[in-house]
A and B are shown apart, each in its own frame.
Chain A
Amino acid sequence: MKSGAKILIEGLQREGVETIFGYPGGVVLPIYDELYNAPIRHILVRHEQAAAHAADGFARASGRVGVCLATSGPGACNLVTGIATAYMDSVPIVALTGQVPTNLLGNDAFQEADISGITLPITKHSYLVKDTRDLSRVIREAFFVARTGRPGPVLIDLPKDISTNQVEDVPLKDPVFLRGYQPTLKGHTRQIEKALSLLATAERPVIYAGGGIIASNASGELVELAERFMIPVTTTLMGIGCIPCDHPLNLGMLGMHGTEYANFAITECDLLLAIGVRFDDRVTGKVSTFAPHAKIIHIDVDPAEIGKNKPIDVPIVGDARAVLQAMLQKIEKGGGRENWLEKIRMWKKKHPLKYEEDGKLRPQFIIQELSNLLKGEGIIVSEVGQNQMWTAQYYCFRRPRSWLTSGGLGTMGYGFPASMGAHFARPDEVVFDIAGDGSFQMNIQELGTVSHYKIPVKVAILNNMFLGMVRQWQELFYDRRYSFTELPPVDFVKIAAAYGVDGMRVDSPDGVREALKTAIETEGPFVLDFRIEREENVFPMVPAGAAINEMIGGHPR
């Protein structure tokens, strides 16, 4: 006979879980008691939201399933933003929540919240366990569902008596079989052939690559395909890292704050090969003018994404990697589009990203310096807002899973806890959270966690004393009426010190390199407070609802 709590821990171990992020409370006491001596490392965060983001950061950095644990009611509710963040970016996490005992379910018992109901629209699947004998199976299924197909968060709600009940554990039949869940991984052969024949004849092809490439570990195949056919590649915010930033075929990011040349290339291409993307409005701008001259091939593991926002000429349902491998097997070489490549080289030369270099402390410079220092390596996590866009634009990413950011939900406060998760996934890497002063204050309590466990995460606050991205919109579209976007100065170095974390404030460009070096060389966590030019903007920019080639703040055409 075994308790449910014991079965849970054994189930997690079977799934290869080494680290979980959590916060205790009444109904999870039996689980915490089991964790006390378990060979699983538990990291006590300071807010459950951080547990969910840390699990997410762990998953994105490692490609494995991240796990978080919270008590019922308020604890579970605090996970919600983190679960939604993972859902929007298709990140595999398993969220474990305590629940009131089964005999009290539905009674408005103390700390009861219907968390499986609350998270129904933001989970890939969820379980409310009502019999301890189901637990082993549920754990195995949850991990399977989270990591396969289009990955996503799965929630397991565990009433207290489920953890305390003693049962004969039911041996598991392998493998997992769910008759309602059979993701298509292999692309349809005829569709693949159609795609290849379009690729062979296209004169101005572009690859539009997204987070699906990273999720399916298809970066190698992607670059191979691009090189064989000599096709330029633009990536979404989520796809950054799937092709090295300085690869001659890389066009950088497209969309609202994309490069001018990526957006021009999309607008003029005659064939768009979209892989692991979802034609999000931040990418397409006005959707009717997105790739207006192109035939579109769309490869995605989620059939519901194909044709959702834009009609598709050649849909291919399948895992990006499997489909790309199939394509590579069928074709040796293509290319011979010198005119198109030449045009793109010219755009790149005439329309580079730019910012003013006038001796003031500009955020773009800080990112470039960090990129130079780390040689584009390390794991870079961002918060949300201008800090996120500057990092996406100016950091020279060279590897997949080295850029973690909340793309779909745009969750301020994601970065700091996600960096903690990234550290546990890849402890040998330098991990930086590029933050805004607004976002950092959304999960600033995690200074307690990094201090407690000496997690060597470096925070670089691009401190403009504004909710910068919102202020930028107010400047451009609301007549500079800065309604509730100014933040009074905060002494972040002192706050860090109070938690026992080292820090440094930087006011001029001269100090940037030294400061970054100090942060990197310091053994534990470190907080850098960069007092940047307050009203710096992110450019170029596609105004809401405009076509993506109608950018402001770029070069004259």
Chain B
Amino acid sequence: MKPHTLSVLVENRPGVLSRVSGLFTRRGFNIESLAVGTCEEPDMSRMTIVVVGDDAQVEQVIKQLNKLIDVVKVSDITEMETVDRELALIKVSAEAGSTRAEVMQVADIFRAQIVDVGAKTVVLEVTGGSTKIDALEGLLRQYGIKELVRTGKISVLRGSKTVKSSK
């Protein structure tokens, strides 16, 4: 059982997200994260899905995704050279004074941006691989995390290779 990263091109149609997520629920597959947005092709969206399972399960996921009429292309890019990023916004308790200074120091080490400062809180924006964000989250927990949002991982292949509709 290990996480697999799938890059999925889908038709940009209403209902496509529920088709994809419904498939995962129905077949009992575990999604770790799913990020979706428009892409370079005008009528398509690209999803990056991280799914956990053994090889046979992931093979089934891919085959079942391919059966959806609105899914144009599925690639398992787990073993390929990729650039992976995730973005998180973290609201941390940080009263003005020494804690706030500490939090800002931690942010600095992780190259996180302070994007909002309130009387009792600051909001950090951090980008990176999922492990980096996990680590930052771990460190900030002692100060009190008020709210945390993560986008889920997005990935592209390195170099000139692309995940494109071959059809």
Contact = CB atoms under 8 A, between A and B. Distances in A.
B18 A180 contact: no
Nearest to A304: B63
B19 A128 contact: no
Contact of B69 (A116, A181, A302, A304): A181
B112 interface: no
Interface stretch (A117-125, A163-171, A483-491): A117-125
Nearest to A152: B67
A117 B18 contact: yes
Contact of B22 (A121, A178, A302): A121
- A125, A126, A181, A307: which has the most chain B beta carbons within 10 Å? A181
Interface in A412-443: none
Contacts of B23: 121
Given A179-B167, A182-B167, A116 B71 contact: no
Given A303-B63, A304-B60, A128 B72 contact: no
Nearest to A122: B26
Contacts of B69: 124-125, 145, 178, 180-181
Contact of B72 (A121, A124, A180, A302): A180
A180 B63 contact: no
Given A303-B63, A303-B66, A307-B56, A120 B72 contact: no
Contact of B19 (A120, A181, A182, A307): A120
Interface string B138-166: 00000000000000000000000000010
Nearest to B71: A180
Given A117-B18, A128-B14, A307-B59, A302 B26 contact: no
B167 A120 contact: no
8 contacts: A117-B18, A121-B22, A128-B15, A178-B69, A181-B69, A182-B167, A303-B63, A304-B64
Nearest to A182: B167
A116 B14 CA distance: 11
Given A120-B18, A302-B67, A303-B63, A179 B165 contact: yes
B67 A304 contact: yes
Contacts of B67: 302, 304
A308 interface: yes
B22 A120 contact: yes
Interface in B88-103: none
Nearest to B64: A304
B11 A121 contact: no
Nearest to B16: A180
B46 to A, nearest CB: 14
B70 to A, nearest CB: 6
Contacts of B60: 304, 308
Interface bin, chain B: 20 to 34
B106 interface: no
Nearest to A121: B26
Contacts of A178: 69
A212 B26 CA distance: 24
Contacts, number: 42
Interface in B41-89: 56, 59-60, 63-64, 66-72
A120 B67 CA distance: 13
A226 to B, nearest CB: 29
Interface of B: 10-11, 14-15, 18-19, 22-23, 26, 56, 59-60, 63-64, 66-72, 165, 167
Interface in A167-189: 178-182
A303 B22 CA distance: 20
B56 A180 contact: no
- A125, A179, A180: which has the most chain B beta carbons within 10 Å? A180
A128 B18 CA distance: 14
A180 B11 contact: yes
- B18, B56, B67: which has the most chain A beta carbons within 10 Å? B67
A146 to B, nearest CB: 11
A179 B72 contact: yes
Contacts of B167: 179-180, 182
Q: Which 9 A-B pairs have the closest CB atoms?
A: A304-B63, A180-B72, A125-B69, A179-B167, A181-B69, A121-B26, A120-B22, A180-B71, A303-B63
Nearest to A179: B167
Interface in A303-357: 303-304, 307-308
A212 to B, nearest CB: 15
A307 B58 CA distance: 12
Contacts of A128: 14-15
Interface string A117-157: 10011001110101000000000000001000000000000
A308 B63 CA distance: 10
Nearest to A154: B69
A145 B26 CA distance: 22
A76 B66 CA distance: 28
A120 B60 CA distance: 18
B89 to A, nearest CB: 30
Interface string A443-483: 00000000000000000000000000000000000000000
B55 to A, nearest CB: 11
A306 to B, nearest CB: 8
A117 B21 CA distance: 12
Contacts of B70: 180
Nearest to B56: A307
A304 B167 CA distance: 19
Given A303-B63, A304-B60, A308-B60, A180 B68 contact: yes
A302 B66 CA distance: 10
Contacts of A182: 167
Contacts of B22: 120-121
Contacts of A307: 56, 59
Nearest to A311: B56
A180 B22 CA distance: 18
A178 to B, nearest CB: 6
Interface string A39-76: 00000000000000000000000000000000000000
A120 B18 CA distance: 9
Nearest to A117: B18
A199 to B, nearest CB: 26
A117 B56 CA distance: 28
A179 B165 CA distance: 8
A308 B56 CA distance: 8
Given A179-B72, A179-B167, A116 B63 contact: no
Contacts of A179: 11, 72, 165, 167
Contacts of A125: 69
